[in-house]
Amino acid sequence: MTTPRVTPWQDREPVDANLLNAIKARRPGGKLIGIDRVLLKSAPLATGWNELMVRVRQEFSLSLEYRELIMLRVAWLNKAEFEWNVHYPAYLDAGGTAEKAEALRLSSAPHIFNDTETLLIHLTDQSTRNVVVEENVIGALKSLLGEKDTVEAVATVAAYNMVSRFLVALAI
């Protein structure tokens, strides 16, 4: 494990109690993790980040298993070990398998994934690596998931690219 490149917020430091409680409410057992403590260095950032992640994690209609699959793939592509370690058990809890999680570490989507999962991997890979996503990938996702869940899948990829880039840049 590396040492973060900035000093994380410490319990004795001042912070808005409402913000702290909102972040804790999003975490299992109300326990802050490394990224939370670094985000708390900037109250505006921590506030906006927490609001976005509450929506992505708790309010999207896209299945949690699919969201967690996306999160793991982004973590692997961006070499965000912390993110992988946080989301691996969440993926399993959401219905994913250890075999599929390990397959997400491969350069292409093997045959163990269903059509929707394969498309979500293509979406994640294209958006993360190239930003541009092929029209046929979006079209196929819309056919399988509908427009709302397709939008939420793209937003999940984008949000977790933000997370992983923050984690990796600051060695969290």
Which CATH number is 141's domain given?
Answer: 1.20.1290.10
- Confidence label for 111 from pLDDT (cuts 50, 70 and 90): confident
Same domain, 36 and 97: no
Per-residue pLDDT reduced to its tens digit, 55-80: 999 999 999 999 999 999 999 999 99
Q: Residue 4 has what pLDDT?
A: 95
Same domain, 126 and 49: no
Please tell me whether the overall predicted TM-score, pTM, comes out greater than 0.85 for this model. Answer: yes
Question: Mean pLDDT over all residues of the chain?
Answer: 96
Cα–Cα nearest to 1, from 39, 33, 41: 33
Q: Residue 112 has what pLDDT?
A: 94
Range of the domain at 39: 17-59
Q: Residue 158 has what pLDDT?
A: 98
92 found inside a domain: yes
Q: Residue 26 has what pLDDT?
A: 93
Same domain, 54 and 68: no
CB 120 within 8 A of CB 66: yes
- Confidence label for 106 from pLDDT (cuts 50, 70 and 90): confident
Tokens 């163990």 correspond to what residue? 112
CB 128 within 8 A of CB 74: yes
Q: Residue 1 has what pLDDT?
A: 60
